[in-house]
Amino acid sequence: MLYSPVVTERDIEENHRIYVERRNIYKEKGFDFAVGREFILRKAGELSGSILEVGTGSGDMTVTLAKAGYKITAVDKDAESLKKSALNLVYENLLSKVVFYEMDAEKLDFPDKSFNNIVCVNSFHHIKSVDRVLSEMSRVLCKNGKLLLADFNEKGMAVVGEVHKNEGRVHEDIGPGRAHIYSFLAKNGYKIESYEEQYHWVLICSKNPE
């Protein structure tokens, strides 16, 4: 379902205040999210053609892609996450570069071979049915397409977990991890380049022609 954000100036200001506060908490622990995102994008190289972002969340990677000049189709099954992403884009005057859909990644409502690139960053630890999501990504990815996948490594998860604990919350970690994702895609014919940043693992996966 197409998601059209409705936001107010107060929403934008309050969201940005909270965003800056939280990012500063992480920076005090040595974790600069912006550095991680730039590393991920740099390893991906140029993204030619259409881009689908799966699991936009609060829009950190969405903003990074939009700032780099890309136009993006972004999906998330959580409407509140989509609103946060939209608010962060509005603050940066980048909302026009993104089309949002409220959609479950386990059942993407797009035709086969719809996108040249698919991006999924910091979402896999929230996904239990990873094989189903990867199968859907593969279905909607064009031949010769590229998957840009990344998530927190053990060190990153530890910092994020600590911040959540200090806030009285528990950070969800139910995904099977990088090794499983790598194995699944390799068995399905993808050529994979693997990288490690201080707080992230990164997989750049090229789909072979069919």
To which H or E segment does residue 162 belong? helix 154-166
Residue 208's pLDDT is 77
Break the chain into its structural domains and give their ranges: 2-206
Residue type, 143: K
Q: Please give the structure tokens belonging to residue 152.
A: 């927190």
CATH number of the 2-206 domain: 3.40.50.150
Q: Residue 81 and residue 118: Cα distance in Å, rounded?
A: 19
**Strand extents, DSSP E, the chain:** 2-3, 51-54, 72-76, 98-102, 115-121, 141-152, 191-196, 200-206
To which H or E segment does residue 96 belong? none
Per DSSP, the three-state class of 62 is helix
Residue 209's pLDDT is 62
Q: Residue 105 and residue 123: Cα distance in Å, rounded?
A: 11
Closest-CA residue to 29 (of 159, 157, 153): 159
Q: Residue 122 and residue 152: Cα distance in Å, rounded?
A: 6
Distance of CA 31 to the CA centre of its chain: 17
Q: Cβ distance 152 to 36 under 8 Å?
A: no
Residue 164's pLDDT is 92
Q: Please give the structure tokens belonging to residue 10.
A: 């107060």
Closest-CA residue to 26 (of 167, 123, 124): 167
Q: How many CA atoms lie within 13 A of 49 on its CB side?
A: 15
Helix axes 79-91, 9-28, angle to 10 degrees: 90
Residue 173's pLDDT is 86
| Series of mean pLDDT values for 10-residue runs along the chain (210 residues) | 94 97 95 95 96 97 98 97 97 98 98 98 95 98 97 96 92 91 97 97 87
Question: Strands across the sheet with 200-206, in order?
Answer: 2-3, 98-102, 72-76, 51-54, 115-121, 141-152, 200-206, 191-196
